[in-house]
Structure 1
Amino acid sequence: MLRPAYNLHYQLPATTPGAASRAITLRLPANRLSIISGGSAGERSRLLAALSGQHGEVCGQLFGQPACQQSLRQLTCRAGDCAESCRQTLHHYVLQGRQPRGFWWPRHDEHDLQVVELLLRELGLTPLSQQRLCQLDAGSRQLAAVARSLAGAAPIVLLDEPLPDAVQPARRLLLTRLQRLARTGRTIVLSLADAVLAAELADCLLQLDAGSPHAA
């Protein structure tokens, strides 16, 4: 029996005037790939924001401890966007994800470099590591944002629709790699519009239309 990372209740707000809000119960396992599908893109995004302590109220437990906004923010990392105009190299951008929160001066050691090199290799980014982000296509920048989130120390990584514009083979390959990385000790929760792919590759699937998660 897998130990749950999240065991929470969340009130999903109504998306249209007059519609009723929906209560969502989540029991998502640690060190596995969980995928949120169904519902609207806004609902999926708001749920990820709630899991990161940035939106709405949740109650329940996170890694067996009472969940609160502070603990959610400390134990989760929600991936951001990679600016098209960023002139950093891809390697340096991902390496910044290793920087502890609250430190403005970078402190990186050999272990940090090894972690980043492994991530770049796992995500197929090693050939691009010394290129500037502004020189890369949108898909590669999106992958860089995923890598930077995975490089951090937070045990739970939240990804909002990674590679949304990619063709299915590229998205499938990314999900397969994320599933493999999750089993090495990371809990990865992501949203995905493609319900068929989500059902096929998720270790744990949360269908918002159904309102409850189930193991894939």
Structure 2
Amino acid sequence: MTTPDHQPPPPDASRPESRDRIYRSSAGIAGGVLLLAIMGWLGIDALVSGHGRTPWLALATLILLVPLVTAFTLRPAVYANEDRLRIRNPFRVIVLPWTTIATLRSGYSNEAVTTDGTKYQLWAVPVSLRSRKRAARRQARGEAADSSGRGTPATPARAQADQAMDDLRELAEAHPATEGAQAAVSVRWAYKVMGPALAGAVVLAILLAVG
């Protein structure tokens, strides 16, 4: 669901801008780099060694896939400061002042839900059930060692994504009423990602259609 674009008011120049906390998926970045390396190797090989339509098909495929892989792996990030939460998803950038956020919800995905009920997924903070299970096992081992008197008191173990959501909830609770936080929601489409991918899809469709 998409909300209309709104332009937030200019920031208060008398108040220094707070530094962003940045959250990204290290697994997503690693996977994206690996996929891009494989695609680049195969694509360049097809461009150099291919015959007939093969180089053109390889080029169109690269134009289509490189922006998409980048969008879903390297691009997602969440930026948070005292005023707002900025979510950079594959195809959109959403700016949510803290006063517009009703809750930050974790389930099978992590979401920011605004006061009007609109949901925005945090692609950069993916839920990992495996990480949650590992954290639960670490917590259980720590509690067992603590109860037996063989170790220091156990600190609560949290999965990386769950810890990130805890940090964001603390920011939302601590900074709900700053002047910058009272701006409107802003949603912008990432045309620089969508445009090349669409162009590659069109060229690839034409090449496949003409045989």
Same fold, TM exceeding 0.5? Answer: no
Tell me which structure has the larger Cα radius of gyration. Answer: 2
TM range (shorter): under 0.3
More helix as a share of residues: 2
- TM score, norm. by length of structure 1: 0.23
- TM score, norm. by length of structure 2: 0.24
More strand as a share of residues: 1
